[in-house]
Structure 1
C-alpha cells in the first residue's frame, strides 16, 4: 500500500464520524495499537522537542524501509503519533522525507487540536522527516 493509499484509508475512516468527540475517541483507540518503543530507548535524544506531553520516537532503517516506534505519556498524543507511524512505517527514507501527511488537513486534525498540541503534531512530523533524511544518506 502506498503512502497515499494509507492516507486515503485514514480519511475514509474519519469520514464515518460526524462529531469530533467521536473522532477523538477513535484517535485514542488507535493509540492502543501504537508500535511501542522499548523502555531502554526512552532517552532524551529520542524525546520530541516542542510537544506539550512527552513523546519518544525511535526510527530505524532496515532494508531501505523506515521502522518507527514511539510512546507518549498522553493518550491523545499516542493516537496522533500512531496515525503518523501508520502512514510512513515500512516506507523508504526518501518517501518518508517527502511525505506531505495530507490526511492531517483532510480530516481537520490540526484545527481541532489546542495550539500546543498542534505545535506538537508539527514537531512529530518534522522529527520523522529528519530521521528519514538521516537514514537516506
Structure 2
C-alpha cells in the first residue's frame, strides 16, 4: 500500500469522530498498538530532540524498504509517533522523502496540540525523513 493510501485511510478514520476528545482517545489507542522498539535501541542516538517527552525511533532497511519502530514515555506522544510509523514504515526511502505530510493538517492534529507537542511532531517527521535520506544515500 502506498504512503498516500495509508494517509487517506488515517484521514478517513479520524473523520469518524465527532470531537477532539474522541480523537485523542483514538490516538492513545493507536499508541497502545505500536510495534515497540527493542530496548537496545532506546539510546540517546535514537531520541528525537525537540519533544517534551522522550520519543525513540529506530529504522532499519529490510530489502528496499525502511521499517520503523518507536516508543515514547508519554501516551499521547506514543500515539502520534504510531500514526507516523504507520504512514511511513515499510516504504522505500525515496517514497518517504517524496511524501508530503498534509494528512496531519487534514486530521487537524497540529492545531489541537500544545505548541511544544506540535514542535515535537515536526521533529518526529524530520527524524523519519532523515533516516530515509540516509538509507537513500546508501542505495
For 2:69, what is the secondary structure of its paired residue? strand
Tell me the C-alpha RMSD between the 2 structures: 0.6
- In structure 2, the partner of 1:53 is 53
Tell me the residue number matched to 2:111. 111
Q: Please report how far the alpha carbon of residue 13 of structure 1 lies from its aligned counterpart in structure 2 after TM superposition.
A: 0.4
Which residue does the alignment assign to 1:68?
A: 68
After the TM superposition, which parts of structure 1 deviate over 4 Å for at least 4 consecutive aligned residues? none
Distance 1:96 1:2 in 2: 10
Query: How far apart are 1:101 and its partner, in Å?
Result: 1.7
Q: Could you tell me how far 1:117 is from its partner in structure 2?
A: 0.1
Gapped regions of structure 2 (runs ≥ 5)? none
d(CA) in 2 for partners of 1:74 and 1:98?
29
**CA shift for structure 1 position 14:** 0.4
* Aligned-residue offset at 1:42: 0.3
Pairing 1:9-20 to 2, within 5 Å after superposition: 9-20=9-20
Deviation at 1:64, TM superposition (A): 1.1
Task: Encode CA deviations 1:51-93: one digit per residue, 9 max, x unaligned.
Answer: 0100000011111101000000000001000000101111000
Q: Secondary structure at the match of 2:35?
A: coil
> Can you give the 5+ residue segments of structure 1 that lack an aligned partner in the other structure?
none
Is 2:125 the partner of 1:122? no
Distance in 1 between residues matched to 2:40 and 2:62, nearest whole Å: 20
TM-score (norm 2): 0.97
